[in-house]
């Protein structure tokens, strides 16, 4: 997990609760940080091919899966972080963005921080797969019924009827609200407070 | 030595390498730089920047920033940085994290450049005329690869947990601080506590040490990373970071923050209380 990634971290920790052999490394773990060589180690690991899955977001994501973390419409964003490297070096990159809107999902980014082939795009409203040969997203499921095309600035493929994403099971919810929330709160206190009301 | 004297040793226009918020920034010296009205500093994020950079930029101390990102983490965007970048008041040389590490490691090795995989296809390259994309000289087929030039900062500045009588400092697992100490022409360090003797004689401590050979000057600074944290000694002051992020949204609010927390007579390196 890289910078500012409490959502995928929560997902990974949930999976780890059910599959304890999974290794989850949080870059910004405040206590018990898994890295000993400082902040370069995450990138060295990726360069060695040791990272199986990484997650990336962006201020803007376009229909060709380009990421923009630098600037748009005269506004300055924080910057590309390690995305320009990780996106092309890690075998499986999952794009994520809580906000699903035409503001975020644009036809074409103003600045390409990183270009690559993602494994998927997950937003607060939907899950898309990536068609590598066509360089085009395909809508696989929506979390709630709604007009996804109106909310998405880029064009994409989809089946005629799009299924609804299955809701988390009672067991998954209990794990998320219990041990996962507690683990996340240690490194992302504001996020844990907002999502689970943990102080 | 005092943090104020370390700041005095940093000239206007210096290329200053700073760690991210999670890696022991020397906040007492950063505050002194602002009080001393330093100008035209060129900041290098190793590999990202946070509160130090936003404070220095807001206070008018900075001409240029090279970093893979400038942000306040959970406290949100870095407001002074964002405004200065949007208005063209500072030059921003966008990078990506491993490119900064690689460039510093080239200086650390005494070579003029080092290659790095990935990054091709990013607009970052177009904006960096100093980066080169060339054929991998060891590959038979077409194999373009990015080359980044070595960066040797004028000054590396950070906070350490211990300094000993021999002049060694201990930073634990924060090895990016060792990289900048090796790459930089001078390294200035504040430290939380003194340790008697020589830490290099202790096999458990030695791997976290940066040897005195690299350290130009060191000054004691209790709570020297505040409001950022020092692992096992004091936590990040999240409430204060949120207070700063709110205040710094406007120039007026930022000036009020400076008046309250920065431009105060130096009695100790941290204020008595953090008013929310």
Domains in chain A, ordered, with CATH?
A: 1-34+170-199 (no CATH), 53-166 (3.40.1080.10)
When mean pLDDT is compared across A135-144, A188-197, B109-118, B257-266, the lowest value belongs to B257-266
Distance CA B17, CA B42 (A): 9
Secondary structure (DSSP) of A147-175? -HHHH-SS--EE-SS-PBPPPPPHHHHHH
B44 close to B68: Cβ distance less than 8 angstroms = no
pLDDT tens sequence across B30-79:
999 999 999 999 999 999 999 999 999 999 999 999 999 999 988 999 99
**Nearest beta carbon to residue A79 from set B86, B94, B176:** B94
Residue A24 predicted with pLDDT over 90: no
Distance CA B253, CA B79 (A): 11
Q: What is the pTM of this model?
A: 0.92
CA distance A141 to chain B (A): 30
B20 close to A39: Cβ distance less than 8 angstroms = yes
Write down the architecture of domain B3-95+152-262 according to CATH.
Answer: 3-Layer(aba) Sandwich (3.40)
Chain A / chain B CB contacts < 8 angstroms: 139
Helix (H) or strand (E) holding A126: strand A126-131
Strands B155-164 and B144-149: unpaired
**Which has the closest alpha carbon to B214: B149, B266, B152, B151?**
B152
Instruction: Please state the rounded mean pLDDT for residues A154-182.
Output: 94
CA distance B190 to chain A (A): 19
Which regions of chain B carry the CATH code 3.40.1080.10?
3-95+152-262
CA distance B265 to chain A (A): 32
Q: Answer yes or no: do B101 and A36 touch at CB < 8 A.
A: no
Distance CA B204, CA A18 (A): 36
pLDDT tens sequence across A71-105:
999 999 999 999 999 999 999 999 999 999 999 99
Distances (CA, A) of A15 to A171, A180, B172: 12, 10, 31
């Amino acid at each position: 997990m890289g910078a500012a990634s409490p959502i995928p971290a929560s997902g990974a920790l949930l999976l780890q609760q059910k599959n304890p052999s999974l290794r989850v490394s949080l870059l910004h773990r405040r206590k018990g940080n898994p890295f000993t060589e400082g902040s370069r180690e995450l990138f060295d690991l990726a360069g060695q091919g040791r990272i199986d899955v990484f997650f990336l977001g962006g201020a803007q994501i376009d229909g060709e899966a380009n990421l923009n973390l630098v600037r748009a419409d005269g506004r300055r964003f924080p910057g590309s972080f390690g995305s320009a490297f990780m996106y092309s070096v890690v075998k499986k990159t999952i794009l994520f963005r809580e906000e699903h809107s035409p503001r975020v999902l644009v036809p074409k980014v103003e600045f390409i921080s990183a270009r690559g082939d993602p494994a998927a795009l997950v937003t607060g409203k939907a899950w898309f797969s990536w068609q590598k040969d066509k360089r085009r997203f395909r809508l696989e499921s929506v979390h709630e019924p709604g007009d996804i095309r109106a909310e998405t600035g880029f064009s994409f493929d989809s089946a005629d009827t799009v299924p609804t994403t299955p809701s988390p099971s009672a067991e998954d919810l209990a794990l998320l609200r219990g041990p996962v929330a507690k683990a996340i709160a240690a490194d992302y206190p504001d996020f844990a407070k907002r999502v689970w009301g943990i102080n | 030595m005092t943090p104020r004297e370390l700041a005095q040793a940093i000239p206007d226009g210096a290329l200053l390498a700073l760690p991210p918020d999670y890696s022991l920034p020397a906040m007492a010296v950063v505050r002194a730089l602002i009080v001393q009205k330093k100008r035209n500093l060129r900041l290098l994020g190793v590999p990202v920047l946070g509160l130090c950079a936003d404070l220095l930029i807001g206070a008018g101390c900075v001409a240029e920033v090279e970093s893979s990102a400038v942000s306040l983490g959970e406290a949100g965007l870095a407001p002074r940085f964002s405004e200065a970048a949007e208005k063209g008041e500072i030059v921003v040389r966008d990078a990506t994290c491993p490119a900064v590490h690689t460039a510093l490691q080239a200086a650390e090795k005494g070579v003029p450049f080092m290659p790095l995989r990935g990054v091709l296809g990013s607009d970052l390259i177009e904006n960096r005329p100093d980066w080169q994309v060339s054929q991998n000289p060891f590959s038979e087929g077409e194999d373009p690869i990015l080359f980044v030039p070595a960066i040797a900062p004028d000054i590396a500045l950070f906070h350490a947990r211990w300094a000993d009588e021999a002049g060694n400092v201990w930073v634990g697992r924060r090895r990016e601080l060792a990289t900048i100490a090796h790459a930089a022409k001078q390294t200035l360090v504040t430290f939380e506590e003194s340790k008697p003797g020589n830490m290099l004689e202790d096999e458990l401590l030695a791997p976290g040490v940066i040897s005195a050979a690299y350290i130009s000057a060191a000054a004691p600074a209790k709570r020297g990373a505040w409001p950022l944290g020092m692992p096992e000694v004091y936590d990040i002051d999240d409430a204060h970071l949120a207070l700063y992020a709110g205040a710094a949204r406007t120039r007026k609010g930022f000036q009020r923050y400076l008046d309250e927390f920065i431009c105060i007579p130096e009695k100790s390196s941290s204020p008595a209380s953090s008013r929310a």
